[in-house]
Structure 1
């Protein structure tokens, strides 16, 4: 297996995880870790992790398209992600060709009526690039381990969070950003939770993701507070409890973000 491009020490990991663990209301259940440690769980974890990276990129793309750019820029974003979506959802194309697609070929034109547009674009475009890179890295690892990709159903996790998003603006956008923060923070916490129980190179790969995931959650939170005309802490606490319930409650569908295994 290839060495991860970014090495990270245990001390650096602890520093990155300290605010994450304060932000989250609970840690990954021991029962989930026990399930994840089983050799038969690795294929489902790798495949679901890969899809989660794409969905994170798609969520960021949708935020840019809806709230920050003109139509031509939005169409360029759609074309950027299309090869990844074709492979993941329609099983079209060779995954190795995706290495040539991780670049946005058009400058994003921000909406002049939205003062936060440029910052939203800058942070979300960087997030998309990183998530698509992680997507490809997981595919490389899966191929080296002999795990072939096929379609996989979504877990309840993200859907359970977004169910609580308010239906009017800008509250809807604020809630979506807070949900994004929790998804990224939980990903970071869970990478660290499972990494020590995996083969050394695979565990180091998961540790190598902590820095970007930790920054993503902070970017989502800072954007939410910038856009909101009120203090976001009550909504942050609301989603904290919703997220904790999803993580701690019994879950029969074992996935990367699933709850306590039944």
Structure 2
């Protein structure tokens, strides 16, 4: 049972999401045999969250020099994840070495930079923490394919600005909110130390979802409730649809649950 503090933290997220994580997904996720894929995909999700935030800063908020500094910040993490180069322990010492300077013509640049740089720092720290858990449980890192989840959301993004940016921010809010909801549901089902780790992530993930929504509202300059509802429906469909691929954000793993019940 989650504490009252955590329940209050999760309440707005549960209202924001249009569905809960299916029991069929949780049934598979708690199986010890699935822990390696769960941790590995969680690791990659942390990096992808950092990359998405970096893209938003580079695309919409900073000059070319600042953008290059962001690329160099993430490069060792990408080298490890995609090219399996470098020692993961060295990632703990990597820092952003340049202040981000907003474009002169951006009315929202500084706020986007402030929120997204903090998000990147936290996601990269979580990336390292997941690697520590994998080391503890002797889970070797192997490359895996991405789930359909994020692509399924982003394919509905508008093709013109500023609507495209607003839609990307709303998608970011849903990804962070779903992550938070799943961490909370997984915590009591996994080994106690991993459960405690997942609970420790709730506060930052909840803030990330709020930051994305606040930026979307600010940049839109108008009500975004219709787009939020639209992407909420898309997100719920992805979560509830049958999915033969088990990942951290996958849908109902019918093939796995059928095998468990056999």
Give matches, 1:85-234, under 5 Å.
85-101=78-94, 103-234=95-226
Gaps (5+ residues) in structure 1? 1-8
Please give the secondary structure, in 2, of the residue aligned with 1:219.
helix
Please give the secondary structure, in 2, of the residue aligned with 1:110.
coil
Separation in structure 1 between the aligned mates of residue 126 and residue 171 of structure 2, nearest angstrom: 20
Q: Which residue of structure 1 lines up, in the alignment, with residue 259 of structure 2?
A: none
Separation in structure 2 between the aligned mates of residue 171 and residue 199 of structure 1, nearest angstrom: 43
**Aligned pairs, number:** 253
Q: Which residue of structure 2 lines up, in the alignment, with residue 64 of structure 1?
A: 57
Q: Which runs of 4+ in 1 moved over 4 A?
A: none
Supply the RMSD in Å over aligned alpha carbons.
0.7
TM-score by length of 1: 0.96
Offset at residue 166 of structure 1 (A): 0.4
Please give the secondary structure, in 2, of the residue aligned with 1:260.
coil
Give yes or no for the alignment of 1:245 onto 2:245: no
Please give the secondary structure, in 2, of the residue aligned with 1:147.
coil
Separation in structure 2 between the aligned mates of residue 153 and residue 228 of structure 1, nearest angstrom: 34
Q: Which residue of structure 2 lines up, in the alignment, with residue 54 of structure 1?
A: 47
Q: Which residue of structure 1 lines up, in the alignment, with residue 260 of structure 2?
A: none
Question: Structure 2 residue aligned with 1:33, among 26, 50, 66?
Answer: 26
TM-score by length of 2: 0.96
Please give the secondary structure, in 2, of the residue aligned with 1:49.
helix
Q: Which residue of structure 1 lines up, in the alignment, with residue 258 of structure 2?
A: none
Separation in structure 2 between the aligned mates of residue 248 and residue 204 of structure 1, nearest angstrom: 27
Please give the secondary structure, in 2, of the residue aligned with 1:250.
coil
Question: Structure 1 residue aligned with 2:12, among 16, 19, 22?
Answer: 19
Offset at residue 229 of structure 1 (A): 3.2
